Amino acid sequence: MNTTIFKTEPIAIKAWAEKRIVYLELTDGRIFGFPADRFRILSQASENQLKAVQIEVGGHALRWEELDEDLTVSGVVAGQFQLPLPRQAA
């Protein structure tokens, strides 16, 4: 049996933020979410600033104009975060 695997770069068609989580809907139907606090600039942003996320570069990038912050969709989907997970209270 021959199996062909096609790898395509993830492309966002929708982005939004709720309760400090940024969500992406991808062209393949997946919905992906990541904590804003995993990125330096986003970790300092207000909830309203996070909600101003825009999709740029044909779905390959996320942009927060007021924060002057850009992230690649492929980077966040691959888990390339700037900051570690916050420690949970024991």
pLDDT at 38 (0 to 100): 95
- Please tell me what DSSP assigns to residue 68: T
Give the angle 61-64-68 at the CA atoms, nearest 5°: 105
85 residue type, one letter: L
pTM of the predicted structure, to 2 decimals: 0.86
Give the per-residue pLDDT at 50.
98
Q: Please check whether residue 48 is in contact with residue 66, taking contact to mean a CB–CB distance below 8 angstroms.
A: no
Average pLDDT per consecutive 10 residues, the chain (90 residues; last block may be shorter): 72 97 96 96 97 98 98 95 75
Q: Which residues of 47-61 are buried (b: 16+ CB within 10 A; e: fewer)?
A: eebbeebebeeebeb
- Give the whole-number percent of the chain exceeding pLDDT 70: 90
Angle (CA) 57 51 27, round 5°: 40
Class of domain 12-77: alpha beta
**pLDDT (0 to 100) of residue 15:** 98
Q: Where are the domains of the chain?
A: 12-77
